[in-house]
Amino acid sequence: MPFESIRLITFDCYGTLIDWENGMLAALRPVLSRGRHVSDSQILELYGEIEAELEAGPYLPYRQVLAQAAREIGRRLGTEISAEEGGAFAESLTRWKPFIDTVPALQSLARRFRLGIISNVDDDLFAETRKKLAAVEFEFVVTAQQMQSYKPLHRNFEEAIRRSGLSKDEILHAGQSLYHDIAPANALGIQNVWVNRPSIRPGSGAARPGTATPNYEVRTVGELSALLNAGSA
């Protein structure tokens, strides 16, 4: 991997640094269990489809996206989910945990690279997640709330480039979603790494499936750290 030019790594957060699959399922299984049996894979598939539909429309705060997605999953499965239960699902994001490799890998990368976040989230929700990543310093965080738009729209990435003060060839973007992260990075000419974590739904997880081809592929952020640190040694 040619890392000589890279000075900044931007990360997607949920699915890449934070284990959103298990976080979602822990919150949704109890309410969906009132209806017919549904597999974890089907829950994640429905979430990815519905989330993308909601994010492609007029801007909604991510809390609303989460809450409406939960209620729509229930509707499609024939199980009524109340507004209060939808809100509780949104709030569950504050309890989603980092993958075990996340913090050590970010700490290692921070010794050599500047780090940033580009995330489809609200500022207050990310503030809770940031406490779980407190050992890591991010130079900037670009959220959907700040931009009033969601990845894969290019403007979220363009804002990260603007804040960095760097040229595109000095930036590497790492994300779990081909749809949200790799496709727009490719379109903008940003080097990218697909963090293709092991998943109940291989290749897409809780995101809408995508067909983009990444520049590089790893299975964890720990693997990415090892490759980048070796390449820049």
- Catalytic positions are 12
Helices (H), the chain: 20-32, 40-56, 62-77, 83-92, 102-110, 123-132, 144-147, 154-164, 183-188, 221-231
Kindly provide the b/e burial profile for residues 65-90, where b requires at least 16 CB atoms within 10 angstroms of the residue's own CB. bbbbbbbbbbeebebebeeebbbbbb
CA distance 97 to 193: 22
Give the Cβ contact number of residue 108 at 10 Å. 17
Sheet of 140-143, strand order: 140-143, 114-119, 8-11, 171-175, 191-195, 216-218
